[in-house]
Amino acid sequence: MTAPRILIVDDEAPIRRFLKIALGSGGFAVIEAERGRQGVELAATAAPEAVVLDLGLPDMDGKAVIAAIREWSQVPILILSVRDGEAEKIAALDAGADDYVTKPFATGELMARLRAACGSGLPAPPKRRRSSSAP
Amino acid sequence: MLEEAKARQRAGVDVVVALVETHGREETAALLTTLEQLPRRQIDYRGQQLAKWISTRCWRAGPISRSSTSFAHTNAPGSRHPKRWQDVMEALDAGIDVVTTLNIQHIESLNDAVAQITGVRVQETLPDEVLARADQIELIDLPPEELIQRLKDGKGLSRRAGRPGARQLLHEGKLTALREMALRTAAGRVDADMIGFICRPTRSARFWPAQERILVCINEAPGAKMLVRAGKRMAERAKLPWIVATVLTPKHESMDAAARLGTQDALRLAETLGAETATLRVASDAAGEILRYARQRNVTRLIIGRARWHGALTQRLMALIREPVSEKLLDGATDFEVTVVTPHARAERRKLERKRPVPHRHRQGRGRRARRRRARDPAGLAHRRLRCGSHRRDHGHLPAGGAADGGALRPRRLAGRERARLPRLQLPLHRALLHLGGGEGVGSGVARRLPARRAVHRHARQPPVRTGRGDARLPSPHRDALRVRPQDRRGHQVRRRPVGGGGPHRQDARRPCADPDARRERQSGAGAGWPSIEDGLDPGAQGAARWAFDKAEPAGLGTGTLPNSAWLFVPLATAGKPFGVIGVKFRDPARAGDPDTRRLLLAVEDQVAVAIERNRLSDELAGARVAAESDKLRAALLNSVSHDLRTPLVTVIGAASALAESGEELDPAQRRELASAVLDEAGRLDRYVQNLLDMTRLGHGALKPKRAAIDLREIVGSVRSDLARTLARHTMMVDIPKDMPALDVDPVLIGQALANLLENAAKYAPTGTVITLSGREDDGMAEVAVQDQGPGIAAADRARIFDLFHRAAKGDGAPAGTGMGLAIVKGLVEAHGGSVRAEAAPDGWGASIVMRLPLAPARADGDGET
């Protein structure tokens, strides 16, 4: 079984960089997009299993990206944003997003939510995930 | 009245007798025994022992009732107020109820009518407004026989019975007429109370339909006061607001003072009677100005006097030479109801009836204009009316007060009608018992309305000063005094100085100095600092200053309050409570009453008050602007910290959590990658914090560059290695000529500036594009430019991008950054005496930021130094 592809749409290169490593270690394959328009194109052409989307993009608003993808696809969309207001979350979820994680975040939580969004047949959680938190 | 006082005393009210004239009657003295009396200061006045009412002590006594007689009388010289009713007003304002008596002939608006009936001009009058403040009026009416009996027994009026005029007053027919007057006045008051009860607020402007007004036009001709009184009665009956206006033309300047004072007196009377007054100024066309003003103020009725010249010959000549203003007014006032009142009609009526069966009007000349007049006025009425409507009925309603309608003033007719109705009542004693309430109920309601009326007066006085024509209208020395020069502004600024007296307002008594002597002193430099006026003020003047400040009305010389002071004080106020007073001491005290002087003083007061108010407002505005600006900065800073500083933390926390949670599953290269991501983003965070600190230091001017001669290439090399990862996605090109002279800068600070520019370029320009750093010498300075191939900067934004927290793109869609980077570049470069500017890149694609920095002195000099 091939690794599920996750499309990351975020204009911050450092964030894309560590997400690629972290998600890769969790059994996901990562596709990157720096701009909203590029993200919409990749969502159509690369057929990802889930999309991780930043709301604040230089070229278009995150909600416009959701709307563009939702015109033809039901791919799970997980929002990753610094905007932590309730109204923002409601607006994004109403626009068609499936989940919402606020920055900053721990990679473990993000991956768990991605597994939930993608349903069964996804990589199992790492066996010794909590070992380091013992002390 | 004394019985009333005793009844109140029994009801538990604290009653003090302020002044009772017993006329030597034991009966009255007996009533006084149980009442507390204020001490009577005996002053020898015109050979009589008059008790002076020591009001100051009384009105400080607290909420009590007090009794007083002879309400309208004049106080002895040296008293606080010239008139006793003014003392009463003060007592009311202090919350003391006052019970007093008043004879009908003392009411101001009835003055003409009383003189007409009795032939005696009553000098002691009471403004109608005072009567209007009474909570309750009780009419004391005696059967005539009893009055006669009392007089015979020596009760009441005993002392005055011997005065000239008293005998005339006691004539049967006259008393009957006066009696009707008293009855009608009291009845009119009851009527007003009822209307007031039905539709409050009673006498305020709102009660009067605002679209209708009466305008009384007066001039220097005798009879102005009569016109004012006629206007008062008409306004009162029709429940209309009324204005008394006079027109001044250049010829008035040359007129003698007595004539001008007459007009001023009439205007003052009008204010006392509750009118709004206006002084209009015009070069020539007085009638036109009146009509213009009348239309502007929605006037519906005009009351004018007819111009008359003494002597038949003069009359004819003048009618030939020029058309009187009244005639011009009649010609022009087609849309007004006009009442023409002939001056002296009252005094001359009886003479006319006896000696001139032909109406006077027919003798007014045979000229063209006279013929026109006759054609317009075939009935020959002395009082011409156009569209008089229901007016005549109004007059019929209250004949005794109808001086405007000549017929109503004929005593014989009045007496006859009165006899027909009340055949047996002949000799009245007209005494009204007044209850004037302060503090509560109707009284305070009236008190609240009074300032509003004053404001109307102020308003009426102000336009001639404010229109800007005010300067030109005043005689030239006044004009100079009036001008508020910029350098005088400081002089007008508010100073806190106690006026004297230890009241709670002591610290608030702020006064600018407009005292002519002090001003001269200051200008000549003799009096350094603030002239301490109050040191030279006697207690009376201090009291007047305090009064003017507390009551917001003029006090002192030439006014109704403390007129014996050598100073005249005018409150300084634009709206609301005064913030100071202007005190003027006259070398010639007679000038205090001069209308020109008063007008000048009001103009000065207005200008000074406006200047001070403007200063205060501009200070407030500046304060508000600073507050708004700092609020904006604070909001921008919070936004910057909460959003932009969090962005590096996302990577730090995310990468660190990945390392912590699944480090064992990662290969060493991946672990290093995550660790270096944390390191890079922590460095970025550090630079932001450094920027914040730099900003603070720049803001406080604490940033002092440690200058040294340094090669630009050295700085560039150091910055590039710090930003290696940031610049990794772009191609970096450096273009610095070999012979580029050394810079005279702080390498750390300029390195920081350069780092900010490069980071900015990397942030906005797309991945893979070229960032060019170039340096060159230009006109003795070094120009260091960072050019990218990003979206560029709109021309409109080029100046503003260096503002703190200004960002070309808004929201979190913009690349991360605090919005401080370019502002810091600007601050750092300017700290070196350089400058920074933004421009379009030379090839038109992208942006270019250019720093101009100082060059180190020539190499030889540099060597010499080291």
Q: How do the pLDDT tens digits run along chain A, 135 residues long?
A: 578 899 999 988 889 989 999 998 888 999 999 999 999 999 989 889 999 999 888 888 889 999 999 998 899 999 998 888 888 899 999 999 999 999 888 888 999 999 888 875 555 555 544 444 433
Contact B359, B310 (CB under 8 A): no
Chain A residues within an 8 Å CB radius of B646? 82, 103-104
| pLDDT tens column, B478-510 | 433 333 333 333 334 333 333 333 333 333 333
Instruction: Report the candidate in B678, B754, B686, B673 with the shortest Cα–Cα distance to residue B719.
Output: B754
| pLDDT tens column, B83-139 | 777 777 777 777 777 777 777 878 888 888 777 777 777 777 888 877 777 777 777
| pLDDT tens column, B745-796 | 988 888 888 988 998 888 888 888 899 999 998 888 999 999 988 888 877 7
Q: What is the rounded distance in angstroms from the CA atom of residue B332 to the CA atom of residue B324? A: 13
Residues contacting residue B805 through CB under 8 Å, at least 6 positions apart:
B633, B636, B637, B640, B818, B819, B820, B823
Over pLDDT 70: what percentage of chain B? 57
Q: What is the rounded distance in angstroms from the CA atom of residue B619 to the CA atom of residue B493? A: 12
Tokens read off for B647: 């962005």
Q: What is the rounded distance in angstroms from the CA atom of residue B608 to the CA atom of residue B508? A: 18
Band (pLDDT 50/70/90 cuts) for residue B415 is: very low
Q: What is the rounded distance in angstroms from the CA atom of residue B438 to the CA atom of residue B17? A: 17
Chain A contact for B22 (CB, 8 A cutoff):
no
End-to-end CA distance of chain A: 36
Contact B267, B237 (CB under 8 A): no
- Structure-model confidence comparison of residues B660 and B112, the more confident one: B660
Checking phi first, is residue B19 left (phi over 0); if not, alpha (psi -120 to 50) or beta?
Answer: beta
pLDDT at B284: 79
pLDDT surpasses 60 at B477: no
Chain A contact for B669 (CB, 8 A cutoff):
no
Q: Which helix (H) or strand (E) holds B242?
A: strand B242-248
Q: What is the rounded distance in angstroms from the CA atom of residue A33 to the CA atom of residue A16? A: 9
pLDDT surpasses 50 at B654: yes
pLDDT at A38: 92
pLDDT at B1: 67
pLDDT surpasses 70 at B379: no
Helix residue spans in B26-93 (DSSP H): 26-32, 55-59, 84-93
**Among A55, A61, A103, whose Cβ lies nearest the Cβ of B650?**
A103
**Among B651, B664, B673, whose Cβ lies nearest the Cβ of A128?**
B664
Average pLDDT over residues B22-33: 69
The burial class, CB within 10 Å (0-12 / 13-18 / 19+), for B362 is: exposed
pLDDT at B350: 41
CA distance A84 to chain B (A): 11
pLDDT at B51: 43
Tokens read off for B379: 């009935």
Note the ipTM here.
Answer: 0.81
- Structure-model confidence comparison of residues B429 and B79, the more confident one: B79
Instruction: Report the candidate in B849, B853, B814 with the shortest Cα–Cα distance to residue B647.
Output: B814
Q: What is the rounded distance in angstroms from the CA atom of residue A103 to the CA atom of residue A52? A: 12
Band (pLDDT 50/70/90 cuts) for residue B699 is: low
pLDDT at B480: 38
Contact B233, B185 (CB under 8 A): no
Residues contacting residue B471 through CB under 8 Å, at least 6 positions apart:
B479, B482, B483
Q: What is the rounded distance in angstroms from the CA atom of residue B427 to the CA atom of residue B173? A: 8
| pLDDT tens column, B385-399 | 333 333 333 333 333
CA distance B781 to chain A (A): 37
Report, in angstroms and rounded to the nearest whole number, the Rg of chain B calculated over CA atoms. Answer: 43
Residues constituting chain B: 866
Task: Please tell me whether residue B218 adopts helix, strand or coil conformation.
Answer: strand
Average pLDDT over residues B610-618: 81
Q: Where are the beta strands (DSSP E) in B631-707?
A: none
pLDDT surpasses 60 at B468: no
pLDDT at B448: 35
Among A5-19, B407-421, B851-865, the range of highest mean pLDDT? A5-19
Q: What is the rounded distance in angstroms from the CA atom of residue B756 to the CA atom of residue B820? A: 9
Mean pLDDT of all residues in chain B?
67
- Structure-model confidence comparison of residues B379 and B615, the more confident one: B615
The burial class, CB within 10 Å (0-12 / 13-18 / 19+), for B253 is: exposed
pLDDT at B184: 73
pLDDT surpasses 80 at B175: no
Residues contacting residue B198 through CB under 8 Å, at least 6 positions apart:
none
pLDDT at B348: 38
Instruction: Report the candidate in B599, B533, B532 with the shortest Cα–Cα distance to residue B570.
Output: B599
Average pLDDT over residues B405-431: 36
Q: Which residue has the tokens 């300084």?
A: B572
Contact B714, B754 (CB under 8 A): no
Chain B contact for A24 (CB, 8 A cutoff):
yes
Chain A residues within an 8 Å CB radius of B729? 13
pLDDT at B793: 81
- Crossing angle for the helix pair B411-421 and B172-198, to the nearest 10 degrees: 80
Residues 706 through 765 of chain B touching chain A, CB cutoff 8 Å: 729
Average pLDDT over residues B682-692: 81
pLDDT at B814: 52
CA atoms within 13 A on the CB side of B601: 27
CA distance B759 to chain A (A): 13
Give the predicted TM-score (pTM) of the model.
Answer: 0.36
Q: Where are the beta strands (DSSP E) in B394-464?
A: 431-436
Contact A27, A123 (CB under 8 A): yes
Chain A contact for B811 (CB, 8 A cutoff):
yes
Q: Residue B487's CB: how many other CB atoms inside 10 A?
A: 7
Q: What is the rounded distance in angstroms from the CA atom of residue B212 to the CA atom of residue B202? A: 17
Q: Residue B691's CB: how many other CB atoms inside 10 A?
A: 22
Cis peptide before B201 (omega within 30 of 0): yes
pLDDT at B38: 64
Band (pLDDT 50/70/90 cuts) for residue B541 is: confident
Average pLDDT over residues B825-839: 86
Contact A96, A77 (CB under 8 A): yes
Residues 624 through 663 of chain B touching chain A, CB cutoff 8 Å: 643, 646-655, 657-658, 660-663
Q: Which residues pair with B708 in a beta bridge?
A: B745
pLDDT at B320: 58
Task: Report CA-CA distances (Å) from B495 to B61, B472, B583, B612.
Answer: 33, 30, 14, 11
Band (pLDDT 50/70/90 cuts) for residue B307 is: low
Tokens read off for B318: 């003048």
Residues 78 through 117 of chain A touching chain B, CB cutoff 8 Å: 81-83, 103-108
Band (pLDDT 50/70/90 cuts) for residue B535 is: low
Chain B contact for A38 (CB, 8 A cutoff):
no
pLDDT at A9: 94
CA atoms within 13 A on the CB side of B295: 10
CA atoms within 13 A on the CB side of B620: 6
pLDDT surpasses 70 at B413: no
Average pLDDT over residues B709-721: 89
pLDDT surpasses 60 at B10: yes
Band (pLDDT 50/70/90 cuts) for residue B466 is: very low
Q: What is the rounded distance in angstroms from the CA atom of residue B33 to the CA atom of residue B862? A: 109
Tokens read off for B83: 């008139």
Contact B741, B856 (CB under 8 A): yes
Band (pLDDT 50/70/90 cuts) for residue B371 is: low
Chain A contact for B488 (CB, 8 A cutoff):
no
Q: Which residues pair with B510 in a beta bridge?
A: B496
Average pLDDT over residues B218-224: 79
pLDDT surpasses 60 at B516: no
Band (pLDDT 50/70/90 cuts) for residue B633 is: low
Q: What is the rounded distance in angstroms from the CA atom of residue B748 to the CA atom of residue B718? A: 10
